Structure 1
């Protein structure tokens, strides 16, 4: 039976998207770049991790990895798949997400709809609701 390994998000600027989501999600960090990976990027003509077309977020406590991959086309329509997040304090987390660059799109009875800086929708609900 198949197991979930990676969630891949198309992105205009993977490094910035990965940093946003690393700041949003508890227990995720941008994978470090060692000398071998930096050398591999240089052989591809990529001068720095900031221009890496595929940036990995690693879970620190289990869960799927998140990959952000560069695509040339902009986002055009509503996501077919999105992330649902929960928080203990909805108001505080809403303010924190806005400070990170999320855009509040709509408030619903049980959740709040946001867009990340690249326009990808995600939801936030109160823990336990």
Structure 2
């Protein structure tokens, strides 16, 4: 059987706030039909760009432990820290690894890689 990746779903204490935080990080936008009362908020790539959507699902329980799945993004990790991310493992912490581990405002871990050289 063959499938294709449609969406990635992330649990959140505040689905709307986390969706609004992640949208500019990925160059996405909150889907136009998202309503204030929704407990699941989608962000999608800009028109003409393919890629999976992300859904932020409001859940009552707090995050506990390390994520079993995480996102890898390319960009300047310093800009993401200025945007509200927290450094979990900084640059050079592990000599053979060239990425930084950050957490979003709700503590979800993600890795940041430098963009490829032009």
Bin the TM-score by the shorter chain. 0.7 to 0.9
Structure with max Cα Rg: 1
**Residue in structure 2 matching 1:76, options 64, 82, 102:** 64
Give TM-score scaled by structure 2 length: 0.85
Query: Quick one: distance in 2 between partners of 1:128 and 1:22?
Result: 21
Q: Give the conservation status (yes or no) of the 8 Å contact 1:85–1:125.
A: yes
- 1:84 is displaced (CA, Å) by 0.6
- 1:52 is displaced (CA, Å) by 2.3
| RMSD value, Cα | 1.6
The equivalent of 2:104 in structure 1 is 116
Specify which structure has the bigger relative contact order, considering alpha-carbon pairs within 8 angstroms and separated by 6 or more residues.
1
Unaligned runs of 5+ in 2: none
Query: Quick one: distance in 2 between partners of 1:126 and 1:69?
Result: 29
Moved over 3 A (4+): none
- 1:58 is displaced (CA, Å) by 1.1
Unaligned runs of 5+ in 1: 39-48, 88-92
- After TM superposition, list the pairs within 5 Å mapping 1:24-103 onto structure 2: 24-26=25-27, 28-33=28-33, 49=36, 51-60=37-46, 61-87=49-75, 93-103=76-86
Structure with a larger share of its residues in helix: 1
What is the count of residue pairs matched by the alignment? Answer: 109
